[in-house]
Structure 1
Amino acid sequence: MIYSLGVPLYANTAPLYHFLEANGWALRYGVPSELNRMVLSGEVGLSLVSSYFYLEHQEELGLLPDFSVAVLGRVYSVNLFHKGRLADLRRIALTTESATSVELLKLLLRERGVFPRYENREGGLELLEEYDGVLLIGDRAIRAYASLLDHLPETPHALPTRFGEVEVVDLSMLWFERTHLPFVFAVWAYRKETPPPQELVRALRRARRQGLRRLGEVAEAEARRLGLHPAWVEHYLWNFRYHLEEPDRLGLQAFAQGLGLTFSPSYYPG
């Protein structure tokens, strides 16, 4: 029987499974909202799930203790594209791919006393013709941002955040300015009663080591898929934290507290 492993087809998760050995398991792709549902229903045995979903379902889900998709500072792929000042936003179109980014946006704006009307919409930057702001995540956000650049700067520190009347707000950077902690976007989770095989967890650890050791190869493959410059994708992947270390756990706890939730994980024993 083939064991199903859920992964979002996003560039930022590729270092975790690009070099995963095929040995009795297979990848199932989906956006985070789909994968969240699939792991809870048992359609996949282990999946990367959004951190908000995990926090909501901790009683049912176990957690791999040393894996994450997190960032300290800019993430480049969870962006609010907007016109005018943040304080003046009235209508925002939201991605339907992940609840974590939506809840993070609402938390950050709420703390600023900003309470726009939120509407779930499929689309990209063209939605700015109708809305004051558009929240995009993952590959769609990267492509949208890259489409605004007229050249690739020598250093990422020179990447602009304003393009005419459109401003790009990186939610992970707003989180860092608020907390000085990483923001955890995703974790590996499974139903507590059906933990993943230890061989799979070991294979994932080996795949991650290879992915980080050979990050340039991963970046080139993802750049081809996305139609972007490999240097841009490699810098993007450099930013990520994939080990759920103590600062990441503190960041996840701070996110839980901001939402009125707790962080009481049940870790995989192996």
Structure 2
Amino acid sequence: MIKISIVSYSNTIPFLYGLNKWHFNNEINISLDDPSTCAKKLISNKVDIGLIPVVSIKMIKDPKIISNYCIGADGSVDTVCIYSDIPINEVKNIFIDSDSETSVKLLMILLKEYWKVQPNLIRIKIKNEVLLQKKSTALVIGDKTFSLKNKYKYVYDLSSIWKKLTGLPFVFALWVTNKNFDNKFLSQFNLALSFGVKNIQEAISFFDYKFNYKANLEEYLNNRISYDLDVDKKKSLTYFLEKLRVNGF
């Protein structure tokens, strides 16, 4: 049995649909986890494949990227944002959602190179809905952002800011393993992911009972999330990881 850890956000609905509908003959077992747990499970060999935050790759022994699909965005993503009632240049403290280290590292780069400010970063575990005190600021990621729409005066989309800074899309998570799989399985795995990405409306309908959010998922999955790990995303990934190295983040 091949154990797979997938991020439990709605942006993975196409992947889940493809893996559920493809003919794996009970070869796979899927667990839904937050991004940091996906990485921890792969690092500790509790799973064989993980959809993990890109900054976690360096923590894995002999990592292999096994798919041409990812969780990415080319411009605004809507679900990795800073929410605040004051402008970013006046912010003293930012509460940061610890679910994904990639988003935190991206924020650190943008604070230094785009906004050129140095607020304190305070790690917290943000629940399904975060209620911020007046003049407080938070980085919130994933489906938790759906309930925050139109509630704050300032919303800074980190993927959009990265695009302004670099001219490139951004990659949040990749399909990674530290095991060796035969080409037949890897081919079927990628065909399953492709099937899901090409049938987003059917995927949304299939999981409607599970992802019951007041959000336009069809718009979000088709026009905000970008699933192909193309040349520009690979270039962006290399550039992002180099930025982390140079800055010591």
By the TM > 0.5 criterion, same fold?
Answer: yes
Q: Which residue number corresponds to residue 29 of structure 1?
A: 32
- 1:170 alignment partner AA: D
Q: Is the 8 A contact 1:45 1:196 kept in 2?
A: no
Gaps of 5+ in 1: 149-162, 262-270
Percent identity reads 24
Paired residue type of 2:37: E
Q: 2:85, 2:134 within 8 Å by CA — same for their partners in 1? A: no
- Secondary structure of 2:175's match? strand
* Aligned with residue 238 of structure 1, among 222, 239, 243: 222
Counterpart mapping for 1:1-270 below 5 A: 2-20=1-19, 21=22, 22-23=24-25, 24-54=27-57, 56-57=58-59, 60-111=62-113, 112-123=115-126, 126-129=130-133, 132-145=136-149, 148=150, 163=151, 166-191=153-178, 194-222=179-207, 224-229=209-214, 232-239=216-223, 240-260=225-245
TM superposition score normalised by structure 1: 0.81
Amino acid corresponding to residue 253 of structure 1 in structure 2: T
SS in 2 for 1:226: coil
CA distance in structure 1 between the aligned counterparts of 2:79 and 2:122, rounded to whole angstroms: 20
Distance (whole Å) between structure 2 residues aligned to residue 214 and residue 88 of structure 1: 44
Gaps of at least 5 residues in structure 2 are none
Paired residues, number: 239
Q: What code does the residue aligned with 1:259 have?
A: L
Supply the AA of the counterpart residue of 1:178: L
Given the two structures, how large is their TM-score scaled by the length of structure 2?
A: 0.87
Distance 1:127 1:93, change over 3 A: farther
Distance 1:69 1:107 in 2: 20
Q: Deviations over 1:138-168 (max 9, x none)?
A: 11123333xx3xxxxxxxxxxxxxx5x5311
1:219 Cα offset (Å):
2.6
CA distance in 1, matches of 2:131, 2:117: 20
